[in-house]
Amino acid sequence: MALTDRTHEAHSKLNYLQIDMGMAYHQDTITIISKGLEVELVKILTIFTAIEFSCNNFDGPIPEEIGEFTLLYILNLSHNAFTSQIPASLEKLSNLESLDLSSNKLYGNIPIPLADGLIFLSVLNLSFNQLVGQIPIIKQFATFSENSFKGNIRLCGLPLKSQCSHEEPRLSSSTYEEFHRSIIE
């Protein structure tokens, strides 16, 4: 598959998606949302690698196999009904420049390997999900604004205004006494 195999990369440069019918040809066009902007592509290079499946009512988990599409530059799965954690396999998308998973039902923490692996990411939108915990502030993730994370009421840390609580759970007085008694004995 061309999205995973770099050997096809050199052969596809400057070729456009079109059908040659002798004296005439048909040239495909497509409208995608890339980096937050709606863009109509008239001449589509065959090396252009994007998945734009927004607004399709897809549900269930995001397929782990998407992490195998290592030549992806844009991944937009927004405005669906995905109900899973963000797959850690997305960390393998090291060429990714735009990731939009907004307006789904994703839950759990943002995987640290994801923040560590996506070093070319210039657009991130994880807003309006059910994500929890502290936002990893490493590499590219340290550059994103509050808008990238808004609408996740249990998400905390910079750039959000809600700070994470690092307090240890408090023990009841009887548990506290038993704990200290065991140390003395």
Q: What is the pLDDT of residues 20-37, one digit of tens each?
A: 445 554 456 666 666 566
Q: Residue 148 in contact with residue 126, Cβ under 8 Å?
A: yes
State the Cα–Cα distance between residues 149 and 129, nearest whole angstrom.
9
Nearest to 29 by CA among 39, 44, 14: 44
66 touches 87 (CB < 8 A) = yes
Enumerate domains of the chain plus CATH numbers: 6-184 (3.80.10.10)
pLDDT tens digit sequence for 114-148: 999 999 999 999 999 999 999 998 888 889 999 99
